[in-house]
Chain A
Amino acid sequence: MSEHVTITIDDRKVKARVGEKLLWTALENDIYIPHLCAIEEEKRPNASCRLCFVEIEGMSHPVTSCTKTVEEGMVVKTRSSRVDRLVKTGFELLLSDHDLKCRECPANRNCALQKIAKGRGLKLRQKRFTLIERDYELDDSPAEFAFNRSRCVLCGQCVWADRRENEIGVIGFARRGINRVVTTFQDLPLAESICKECTVCVDVCPVGALYYKKTAE
């Protein structure tokens, strides 16, 4: 059996490793698909941001490309009216819960949300949904970095990076539903938790939620 399969994405034939998830095949071939929560090394995809939808021939509905394993002969479209509609709504939902002040944000110009907006022609300042009000406190207790939850998109990148780096996870998801947050055990400020300030979480945060203080000056 060959190690590779050939699939078609947006009319382009590309090679993919057997067992690989479609999202990574596309990205490796410079075909853009919006994504926030996917982590290539993790065996089981998070599949929580719901932005990486594509159409696959023979399937009745758009599917998330981060969960779909490539198959020989698969024919994929990264854009369709149904895909665009889902991505737009998902994106706008995330922005309805995001403190959108790009000019003040250390991630400005280096932000996954801005990238998605640009890649898909979407507006950051969405109008369909009322902004959800939050009163998160800024956690600037660590020496080098800070955590502003009102910018967090709950992608989980930091949580998984922390798990990989540290034997006992420092940060994790807590609470349910609309109250879901990334936090420490017992909600302690990072400096009072078991955090060693290894900053792996800061490095993976795709937005300006976890950021180096020096970049915010």
Chain B
Amino acid sequence: MSDPNPQELYSKMLDEAKAEVVSKEGKTRVLVGTATCGVSAGALKIKEDFEREIQEKGLDADVVEVGCIGHCYAEPMAVIAKPGFAPVCYGYLDDGLVHRLVEDFLDGDDPSYEYALAALERNDVFPTFEDFPRGAYEEKLILENCGYINASDIKSYIARDGYSALAKALTGKPEQVLDEVKAANLRGRGGAGFPAGIKWEACLNGGADEKYVICNADEGDPGAFMDRSILESDPHLVLEGMVLCAYAIGAQKGYLYIRAEYPRAVWHVQEAIDQARDRGLLGSSILGSEFDFDLEIFQGSGAFVCGEATALVNSMEGKMGMPESRPPRLASQGFRGKPTILNNVKTFAYVPFIINRGADWFKEIGTDDSPGTAVFSLVGKVTNTGLVEVPMGTTLRQLIYEVGDGLPNKKEFKAVQIGGPSGGCLPESALDVPIDFDSLHDAGAIMGSGGLVVMDEDDCMVAVARYFLEFTQHESCGKCTFCRLGTKHMLDILNDITRGEGDAETLGLLKELAEDVRDGSLCNLGKTAPNPVLTTLEYFYDEYRAHIEEGRCPALVCRDLILYYIEPPKCSKLCNVCVGSCPTEAIFTREDGLKEIDQEKCVKCANCLKACPPEYNAIIKLSPPLLPPEKEKKAK
């Protein structure tokens, strides 16, 4: 009896999946984006609306849940794929629009392009996402399938050649996988950018009979959600990458460390593991070969520091999730003391591409030292928020202005914070920095996990630094002196500055302490926590000085340094809106009919400022917090 060949087994699987997908595509399909971003915007209700309307009309159409397509600003979204038409994507859906689309497009034949965002295939009628200005900069690899395939159906992944890299690898030798990943210079996407191939090789040579492969899906950065999106939208891509890694290093067992706050990701991954096992893509004799490997989910406890490699392993072993000094590295002594590979979700997701298309192809994308693409969650004061994937080397300016379409409300750009809470804040002058591991590091920021927050003139950089430091200080595990006590004192100093307290020495001390915490801490949490402080001190020093020396917050943000003031010439006298909006009844009507704020009672909630009708726009913030007559007095 000859052994079944992995390629043959796979071809059969592929043909079946393709046939099924083709038969499904013969029918109208509504693909609703139900990753967490879609769900929080109401996608599940939209899905029900479609189902109900379709049923009421007795139409023959399937409603399918897909993942995140990356245009989160327009959630909830759906794609309608009707035979005879290019698939069209619609955003900002509500029940009225669903009704209309079902009536006009599903029942009738009018795609209602006035509500469409873009088509998904080139056609003569309507532009595709690639025709958007951002399309010229985006290059989707690991997000390619996201939002297009049904994450709950392995056939959906297989039909797009999913698991073909595994079949290919299994017909060759494990070393070939390792060589390819090494040659591709794939750098870890969890933040530090360490070359995956070198780590894998160390693990391979680590001896030991047992080895482990772990996927880091802890993703604790506030505002980051790309790992979650990938797991929810295309889980098999990550599983395939992990199996390839296991094959390369000879591991039999792997884990996905997913934070427990990601229930949809946990659920999709579990489903994917079960389906892959059913088809012999996981478990013993994968694709008929002699290679055994199985995967399991480990739900993380949630502390940010548990994403750090050694803390993660400690937490998986049931110990306190705290970092350890290294060496030994995980690759020689990791989970249960055995050689272990820990890589980020995205790092694994690139592997099937590299095996399929080759290291040379991969290195064509991006820069020499940082090949491939970078995935960001673009948030903050930017028009198009969402998940983006661009080649490494794209500049920050291109990312913010072309892909993100600039800042909304004609506001002026002030800074961009890259790399999560321990990233750096870069100013306008750094916008032409190319996005790659080394350039960002040189500029004082880090690639981190790929969070990118755009800030405008209304953001106070002292308050921003304080905000991020408050996060890291709170998340410090407390083990080592610099991080436990240093971040606490840094935060106290920053709090003082936002109140205008401090003297000439305060900023010097803050800088010194920040540098020492960076150089003295045990793990990367402490080492990188000072980044927001150091970069804002470097690029926005004057803003710090204004707080201390003039008691002034230039961006009018720091509460203790501003007051709300009603400008008499602008106040309509006849309107009473602000009076009613104030929760503390601080606003009163003067004898002359003008409104005034009793500063003693004002709690600076900004309700009145928002309430004052735009035609008057009479309420302003002043900093330093001095009323105009007092201001004059002071000037004299």
Contact = CB atoms under 8 A, between A and B. Distances in A.
Interface of A: 44-51, 53, 61-62, 64, 67, 82, 85-86, 89-90, 93-94, 96-97, 128-130, 132, 154, 173, 175-180
Interface string B404-421: 000000000000000000
Given A47-B522, A62-B519, A64-B325, A93 B478 contact: no
Interface in B470-507: 473-482, 484-486, 488-489, 492
B484 A178 contact: yes
B49 interface: no
Given A62-B519, A86-B519, A97-B485, A177 B477 contact: yes
A178 B516 contact: no
Nearest to A97: B485
A89 B482 contact: yes
Contacts of B474: 177
Please classify the interface of chain B as helix (H, G, I), strand (E, B), loop, or mixed, using the class held by over half of its residues.
Answer: helix
Given A47-B522, A50-B520, A179-B478, 11 more contacts: A48-B481, A49-B481, A50-B482, A53-B520, A62-B519, A82-B519, A89-B520, A129-B489, A132-B485, A176-B303, A177-B475
Interface string B499-538: 0000000000100110010011110000000000000000
Interface residues of B, number: 28
Task: Count chain A CB atoms within 10 A of each CB in B324, B484, B486 and give the residue with the most.
Answer: B484
A176 B481 contact: no
A180 B481 contact: no
Contacts of B489: 93, 96, 129-130
Given A50-B520, A50-B522, A62-B519, A176 B482 contact: no
Contact of A86 (B484, B516, B522): B516
A53 B473 CA distance: 23
Contacts of A47: 324-325, 480, 522
Interface string B377-412: 000000000000000000000000000000000000
B320 interface: yes
A177 B325 contact: no
Contacts of A129: 485, 489
Nearest to A179: B478
Contacts, number: 86
Given A130-B489, A132-B488, A175 B478 contact: yes
A177 B484 contact: yes
A48 B485 contact: no
Task: Count chain A CB atoms within 10 A of each CB in B324, B478, B513 and give the residue with the most.
Answer: B478
Given A48-B481, A180-B484, A130 B476 contact: no
Contacts of A93: 481-482, 485-486, 489
Contact of A48 (B303, B475, B479): B479
A209 to B, nearest CB: 15
A61 B480 CA distance: 18
Contact of B478 (A49, A62, A85, A177): A177
A173 B481 CA distance: 14
Contacts of B320: 173
A85 B517 CA distance: 11
B324 to A, nearest CB: 6
B521 to A, nearest CB: 7
Contact of A89 (B473, B484, B488, B513): B513
Nearest to B324: A44
A90 B509 contact: no
18 contacts: A44-B324, A47-B522, A48-B481, A67-B325, A82-B519, A86-B519, A93-B485, A94-B481, A97-B485, A128-B509, A128-B513, A130-B492, A132-B485, A154-B478, A154-B484, A173-B320, A177-B478, A178-B488
Contacts of A176: 303, 476-478
A154 B481 CA distance: 9
A178 B480 CA distance: 10
Contact of B481 (A67, A82, A90, A128): A90
Contacts of B475: 177
A177 to B, nearest CB: 4
Contacts of B509: 128
A-B complex: 4 closest residue pairs judged by Cβ atoms: A180-B478, A47-B325, A93-B485, A89-B516
Contacts of A50: 480-482, 520-522
A179 B473 CA distance: 11
Given A45-B325, A89-B512, A93-B486, A61 B519 contact: yes
Contact of B473 (A130, A173, A177): A177
Contacts of A82: 519
B519 A178 contact: no
Nearest to B477: A176
A178 B491 CA distance: 12
A179 B519 CA distance: 23
Task: Count chain B CB atoms within 10 A of each CB in A82, A130, A173, A177 and give the residue with the most.
Answer: A177
A178 B481 contact: no
Contacts of A97: 485
